[in-house]
Amino acid sequence: MSNLKHWIWLSLRKGLAGQNAVRLLEHFGTPELAHAADQEAYRMVGGLSNATIQSLMNKSLDQADVVLGDCERYGIQLLTLQDSIYPERLRAIHQPPMVLYWKGRQIAFDNEAAVGMVGSREATPYGVKCAMKLSADLTRKGALVVTGMAQGIDAACVRGALKVGGPVVSVLAGGIDRVYPSYHKNLYEDVAAVGALISEYPPGTDHIGSHFPIRNRIISGLSVGVIAVESARPSGTLLTVNHALEQNREVFAVPGPIDAPQSEGTNRLIQEGCAKLILEADDVLCEFVDKFPGKLRLGGGACLPPEAERQRLEEAAAAAEPRKAPRTREKPTREDQDDLVYLRWADCKEKLTDDQRAVLLAMDGGTVQADDLVERTQIPARRVLSALTLLQIQGYAAEESGKRFRAAVKLKME
């Protein structure tokens, strides 16, 4: 236990990250010896600031005791850089985390075709749909999706993997006990049940902005490849891609409309040759199927020959052309009504959650804003927005201009 305390003590020193931590461990060999060293010994390491040295001179293990107590309370495991099950993939990166906090299944990453998935928090319905489908297909075909837990693309990736039974891994930018965003509590629990929540930050640590870019190196470090789904320029997504390129990981990108701000980053990655354009899960998995024999399943065989690939890319480029914005209207026109798919309410009730059923019924044949749906259903706004997103993905609802929504199906209530 004292050894674990010293690892926690060392990981909590101010200014001791990246190459400073690597140099200090190489110099002293173990955290215990680093803990026992004096000020002069620290100066011999080189590269340590006065503030870092002063932090190292604080020999108290009280904070480490608090962290261990919190880990026991919340069911969080610890993994240190010296442990045999610490992923070699992650150990080999430029700045491996000294300590990983872990809740859920113990995953042997080095034996997994782990694929990182990242993208914008301000995701479009197109991006959310692509992320969910890709994540579900990757998981179904034997890959392990590694992502974050932010709103937008991260959450869509998590839900896609969970939809087909998981597992999925979420790398966090704060303590595992601090749910962020707060309305993802159920997602946290679901991920921990079938996969793993991972962080280099101890329990009690808030998810702050500066942690996210640092966290991104772990997503790419645990993975054999990284997919960017939607990204503006600049963005945290592109920072993750940079980490992936530095770590010699494969990089993939989902193309988007040429005039969409949220696709500018991904389209540029493809244009500049930094990422392979992908349209489906097999475009990713065919790069790794030989490295993980018997684990990955490809539908329709191996990668397409160059001619077929070129034709498919041309079709994708045509599909990405900008389209006219939909008209704003209070009620669907007769033409729209005629185009609606008729569904028996008894059949679709079984496929929808309680929130989704309530929101769909509350649309009542016209276009409404999210606030109207909150008023009609008396469901909290975050849950209404979540239900709307999933209804759109499943084809039950559509978004009009002006952030208005309408039912995309006609319900038969008998």
Of 118, 91, 80, 121, nearest in space to 209 by CA: 121
CA distance 93 to 27: 19
Dump pLDDT digits (tens) for 315-361: 444 444 433 333 333 444 444 444 555 666 666 656 677 777 888 88
pTM, whole model, 2 decimals?
0.70
Find all residues with CB under 8 Å of 254, minimum gap 6, and list them: 127, 130, 134, 227, 228, 229, 230, 266, 277, 278, 279
CATH number for the region 109-319 comes to 3.40.50.450
The per-residue pLDDT of the chain, averaged, comes to 83
CA distance 87 to 107: 9
Confidence of residue 90 (pLDDT cuts 50, 70, 90): very high
Beta-bridge mates of residue 114: 144
DSSP 101: E
Of 201, 16, 183, nearest in space to 102 by CA: 201
Where along the chain do its domains lie? 2-71, 109-319, 334-412
Pairing of strands 341-344, 276-277: unpaired
Of 320, 162, 298, nearest in space to 254 by CA: 320
Name the CA radius of gyration of the chain, rounded.
Answer: 24
Average pLDDT over residues 48-55: 87
For the domain made up of 2-71, give the CATH fold: DNA polymerase; domain 1 (1.10.150)
Number of H helices, E strands in the chain: 20, 14
DSSP for 388-411?
HHHHHHTTSEEEETTTEEEESEEE
Dump pLDDT digits (tens) for 114-171: 999 999 888 999 999 999 999 999 999 999 999 999 999 999 999 999 999 889 999 9
Q: Which amino acid is at 174?
A: G
So what's the pLDDT on residue 365? 67
Domain 334-412 CATH assignment equals 3.30.70.260: no
